[in-house]
Structure 1
Amino acid sequence: MRLSAATLGVWFNGEERWFLRKVVTGDTVVFQEIPNLPRFGERIEDLGLYTRELLRPTHNLRSTFRAIRNYLAANAVAMTRDEVLAQQIINVIFCKIYDERFTAPQDTVRLRAGIDENATAIAERVHALFSEAKQQYDDVFDDDEKLTLDDRSLAYVVGELQPYSLMESDRDVVADAFETFIGPSLKGAQGQFFTPRNVVRLTTTMVQPTSKDRVIDPACGSGGFLVETLRNLWSQVDARGSKLKWPQAEIDSEKQKVAIRSIRGIDKDAFLSKVAKAYMAVLGDGRGGVFCENSLIDPAEWRPKAEDEVRDNHFEVVVTNPPFGKKLKVTDAVTLARYDLAHKWKRDPEASVSSAQPRFLMANRRRSCLLRSA
């Protein structure tokens, strides 16, 4: 950049990246870190002055999350573990989705980073957003939950995310963030693999649940299937409301009814079930239908609210991608005795090899199957 006429550039080493502006004053050349690069036709002074309607959808944020993860691992103060960083990034994501939902199309969003804006001022705006989100969804977020990223790191994250509309993203941004920050070894051991959004969308389109159906995901993770199903049901409400000339207030009321009545999710991971609940809350509603329980055990062992809301023979649609981690084995005899599918068979060693009708013995082992009688 020193030897060219370029005034903007990106420093990249394969993992971390910085956006830079070259400022020449006489014989002095100074490089300033900036939040990101201007779009085509945009002035550098316009960085961070995005109205909600100018935010653009994205088909893939994984490279952005990788850059954030690598930057934070090297620069974030007092935190290096991916699990902790993941929780902080997901909290920032909820701030951004909340900002998109409660900002008018022509108004400037608050989760933004201006070109010469102080990192502390950016961080103060984000902290205020998170406080509002916690107040709005006090049944989802704990009172003592905080954004603990230092101001400079928070400003970097905001700069990376600010041009995009997460609500209109083609992918499940929460799942992408979680998968980027939580290492493959941990995911594999816990079975925490996330279904790609295009597969989720295809599945819900093929199943085509209606607003009269009750839908459950018994291994909901961060809520990808639940969110896509809810969007599908809401589009049906919009179409019906438009056809019948309903006022917008009536359409919104019907959407809330559908979310509360139709959507249920279960996950045994406390963090993921909380993420799913928060995701549903920030997008609209349905958060009351997400529970942290083990969907394989007898529902009588669940907490009363979950047992009451999730009952056998109560759902018309099951959409799920059950966990399949290599080390996930259900060994509890009481739990295994509840399932009839997927028996393991072994050849009887006493049976004649030449027998036309070889006999088999069924081993006294049963594998768990989530799809019991619906």
Structure 2
Amino acid sequence: MLNIGIIGYGVRIDMLMDDLFALPYDVRIKAITDTNHERVRALMKKDGSKETMHQMEIDKIDGLMRKCEMNPDAITFYTDADEMLDKEQLDGVIVGTNCTTHANFAKKVLNRNLPLFLEKPVATSMEDLRILAECEATATAPTVVSFPLRVSPLVQEVKRILDTDIIGKVEHVQAFNDVTYGFVYFHDWYRNESVSNGLFLQKATHDIDIINYLLGEQPIKVCAMKSKQIFKGDMPAGLRCSQCERWETCMESTYNIINVRNDTPRSDYCSFAVDTGNEDSGSMIVKYESGMHVMYSQNFFARKGAGRRGARLYGYKGTVEFDFLTSEIKVFDHMSDKVTTVCLNDQNSHHGGGDRVLMRNFVHLMQGRTTESVASLKDGIRSTLVCMQAKASSESEQFYPVTL
């Protein structure tokens, strides 16, 4: 029996537990450190009951009310991570706290030589990145960073195609993420930019990691630009849609998101309040060591059929294009009219099947069946550094090196 400890149990970790307990391994959650034990117990029970947004901020999320495969009554709860790590005999630890504390807790776990699963982004400041770089250089225990998209069947097939040299060496990339659920970043806790540190860090980390993985090259320089054109306004700070007289006419109210747009909000803070942070679109250009460059753009007010997430990778002999929303890959032959389309399903798992791959790898590392992480701490640091420097560039209109 493998005993896992969790530091910070929220909606994201709860999703990962679905995939962990769908695997045929003898694993249990032995202990949890969290500041709100009742919220954790409610998440784990998934009894179909509806909590109010003011209590849980997950009203109407029917899709998250799933069958429980964990018994919170058999778990030891802590409020102090050091106490849990000192008292419990654990085989591995999952860190899913707020992003600003990832590096701090990661260091505590790695200093105890325990395998670590770390949520992304791995850090929100250069100081924390340097702490993690020191850990990466000295730690003997492995880390799996929460980068499920790189190990999804879709990206793995793209990697296989690139490795066959069908299109030749990749010499240019155009990547895109038009986020159909972008309202989440202005309704939910993400809207506090002092915590989220902007949407390059919160969202582009996945996409830049995929590109880094597919290219196998080191990013060396970045420039970026961001805009806030839609989600801004003069509504009072702290206003909730449930308290606003415009709830019926505002298309970003939780009422209209649920009942008119048929989407699923996680909170109901006003997207047009004076305290709503984050850009609503952003673009970066990243230069790589071979001299090639990548163009990446993300948008948070595209909706419905306008959504897409993927990239075009160009070689001299051909182009490969993939999109997570269609689960399709297209290979364009530059020397003929041939176009090959590959269709994959989503593997019935979160993040196109990637979460289950991460959980399997984490279990194998705890078991000692492998020593190789499919998404290492070095990968997490590299992607986060690109995104941090992109944010800095977008605020100074200068190029920034991708170095610590």
State which structure, 1 or 2, has the greater radius of gyration over its C-alpha atoms: 1
Q: TM-score range with shorter-chain normalisation?
A: under 0.3
Query: Relative contact order (alpha carbons < 8 A, sep ≥ 6): 1 or 2 greater?
Result: 2
TM-score (norm 1): 0.28
Higher helix share: 1
